[in-house]
Structure 1
Amino acid sequence: LPSLARLRWEGFTVNVAAVREVDLRTPRQEREFLGGRAKAALLSCIEGEGEPPLELLLAAVACAGSGEVRGIPVQMMRDDSVSELDLQDVIQDRNIGVEGGMLLAYLVPVMGALTSIDLSDNQLCGVRIDHRGRVRGTYTAEGIIAIADALRVNGALTSIKLRGNKLGDEGWGAIFAAICGNKDSKIMSMNAFWENIGPAGVKLIAEALRTSVTGALTSVDLRGNKLGDEGWGAIFAAICGNKDSKIMSMDVSGEDIGPAGVKLIAKALRTSVTGALTSVDLGGNELGDEGWGAIFAAICGNKDSKIMSMDASSENIGPAGVKLIAEALRTSVTGALTSVNLGGNELGDKGWGAIFAAICGNKDSKIMSMDVSGEDIGPDGVKLIAEALRTSVTGGLTSAKMLAEVAKQKGISLCGIQRDQTTADFSNQNLKPPDAILLESDLSQAVVTGALTSLDLSSNQLCGLEHFGSGTYTAEGITAIANALRVNGALMSVNLRDIQLGDKGWGAIFAAICGNKDSKITSLNTYYENIGPAGVKLITEALRTSVTGGLTVTDLLGNKL
């Protein structure tokens, strides 16, 4: 405000030009925010009877102050030439206090360049904890409410850190209300971890999240506070009940949530209308079999749920919990859940069989993988899992991948290849992409196919196409075979003719063999395989960079080279 000459307020007049000349630097030992010589100089710029109010002093500094006050660069902020502001007191020993918060509240609303501000550990509410753990000072929300008012209109900040200020329930409530109530806010996350927030604060925060109109806030950390079952239930109800909420994940791990809390959270998830929440971490609580069953039932029973993964590993889930979870997965109508981790529980052979049967028996299931490594599944369990996958009505490729994963973990053959078998003829067996994925499992395990030297896969539909080209091409099956050939060190001969591999398929096969220094395959017959310029480019690059010492003959006659 270079042209401003006078500032009038409640009978006082400020000489703005004189304020510009004041040295605002305050010695560190000075307890007052504007104390000592700085305050005396400011008072000399003000005419009127009595002591000018603090608000007027701060307004004068905000309008015309030069340099810094307790590290706050007032002139640069007024000029909007600051993009990041680090005022964390633990590092800088500045302690801007309540008055500093009020000063910032004058400057922040009009700034467009400032995107990040760290106000951690600054006694913004006038209280601190001494070295003996005792509370010192008198609480006041005046400073933090002033900052909240600034956040209510600021549209530039993307990050603000406020931890360690003893904001209390009222302070944190005001901050959440300001950010959530500002549709132009760009602040993306709020960290209120271990801030001693209690029931009153939870109520304010939940209401802010329930009515939130901001499109930026995607992450909130409220762990380590005194939320309890009812508090966490209120937070989930607020987020899940707001269709405009953009909160993407909720971590409530290790929060001692019990049956009452689980019931409230499950209800919120079951009726959720938010399209943003994709991840929930409930680990390390006291959910038990019934609780985990309720959570899975809630997510799986909500067709609008966007939860993509559930980690219930090492949660002491037993037979009763498995039964509930399996039923939820069997009847699931959600289209989002693609990953479930149940490892480290007490499922046993029957339990794992029930889980796989539930997923594979649900044609609407989107579960893509199940990690059963280290689960000590025995022959009975493998048999149940294999039967579930064999009769699966969920996506064929997904089922094949799941079965291949189990087979690799257990070192078993899925294609009937004996461990001492040297040749395998699968030609003209109507094999399709899922079968190729099963073959990959066998071929990539030396313990299963270490003796196999010859493999015939000719005249199949490993790429989804019949002999005359009908069907839909997919490279997923042949890519799986290529992946196996990239690590197989036993095969000396492989026949892949008349499979309609296409340019991409043949390119993948050559790249795999040529990129495997341990490969023993000596020849590849691609005679009349309709390979075009794109395939030639891939094959020549594979041959140019080849590290294999086995491949000596390639027949590329009859193609479109």
Structure 2
Amino acid sequence: MRASSAEEQEEAPAAKKAKHEEQIRVRARDGEEVALSRDAARLMGTLKDLMHLATSEDGIYPMPTIMASTLQMVCKLNDPDYTWPSSDEPSLYKLIQFIEDALYLDAPIALKHLQRAFASRLNGMRAPELRALIGAGGDFGSAEEYAPPNAEPAFVPEDVLEAPQQPASSTLPPEPLLQPSFSADAMEAALGLVDVATLAEVKGVSRSWRVLAQRVLCSRLCRRDEQPEPTRLDEITDLDVEQLIEAGRPGDAAVAGRMLPGLARLHGYGYVVDVAAVRAANLQCEMGSNWRRPSLLHGATKDALNSCITGEGEPPLRLTIAAVACSGSGVICGIPVQQLREDVVTELNLSDRGLHVPAAMLVASLIPATSVLKSCNLLKNRFDVESAKKLTKMGAEKGIMLSDMTRNQRAANFSFQGLQPADAILIASDLPFMAVLTTLGLSINNIGDEGSIAIAEALKVNTVLTELELWGNNIGDVSAIAIADALKINAVMTKLELGGNEIGDEGAKAIAEALKVNAVVTKLELGGNEIGDEGVKAIAEALKVNAVVTTLSLQRNSIGDEGAKAIAEALKVNAVLTTLVLHSNNIGDEGAKAIAVALKVNA
């Protein structure tokens, strides 16, 4: 008996293993049979139910809705250990077909594989790229065609904001992907892992894709557990602001505060915000001993706001800013939050208020909610570079100027104002709006490399600015290289002042290369930098071919005899330079003699 029991114990695992590995066969729609193990079949709800509820015919289970090749692929993808070959890239059409069948088979692992593959093909694309990838012709009317596809809030339900109608005479191009065989569930599942930013762009593919993206976005952002999907704005009670923030759309929180009358809660980062409580909270800033430095979201203001938020620990700043933008009342830290959200502010002056980064984040979240705001002076605050860039992004999208300059201004002088890198970034963002500005003075500030690089980027597309003064701004080689790159493209700049900075040989070499191709700069000021012989030699080589520079200032650098000799050689062939400033360098007798001889030849 003992031997028999031992044998049974040894045989039991083997029998169990054999049962698990037992093959079943499924007959597909095309009559072909697909074999798979019972364990693999049980991972798919439909096959599991089929084995339990149906009787097989000669050991074969019928599956008349799916082709054999598709069934085989879905079975492979539903294996937790399966890795999709990188070389195997099915078309989007085929991916949706697989998704349709994975849904039918209730194969969750395969569905995730397919959704990831679909999302990887779309994520990060803009509307024109998506249109080309999907193969759908734009069927919008003219007003929709030229409107940014992501201009409407991401949370808007399907067809809530009525779009302009297409003229009756228009011909609608075919949309290959929207085949009748694809269910709405399959199409929505296909977009299940596409990120929010890309889904907003999908709205610009075609009308049918816009409706699909609206449905997916609204469900993802506004649907809560065990609640029906909202179909009207007044049905939306909850909003996931974390997904909006991570998608670069923090402004949608402010828009939601205006558009959603039933909004009760904001969700994100593991916290829940009580919208009504924020609306009723006193968020007036504590002015402290220095009235010029209001503290946004500190002290009692912070405590009042945190009392409206439930969750473990300290809520992230991004969430609290979204809460204030969505439902803060009145004026907070000098910022008319409620009026901006209600879109009744046309001009806003927040210059020199001592505002810090949270205030910049708040303004950046409110700007997208406005349509009448045209100018907003944000200079001379305490913003960092990152917050300034966020502000410029929002300002550019809305056509709002941020530096108190006006569109018809011909000259702007910001010298001696203690400007920081963030200020220069704001000023640079306004330059594309200014069609007649010819002179920009930024001397004796502290814009540094990050600020001057922003100015340089603006110069690449600017077609009117002829004079730029950047004296004394802690600009180094990195900035000089960026400005040099701009000079290779810019065709209008005639006067450039870069004196009193920290430009060394590398920056001088970059500027020299630009002078070889630039045909407009006539006055170049480089005095008071850190340029040595190597840098000035490069400038000298450029002077041999440059036919426009008439004034060159190189005083108070580190130029020695070798550099002076190189300049002298250039003067022998250069026929346009009329003013050369070289005092306060390290030039000795040999260098001076070489310059003197060259001047006789030049004369």
Q: TM-score, normalised by structure 2?
A: 0.41
* More helix as a share of residues: 2
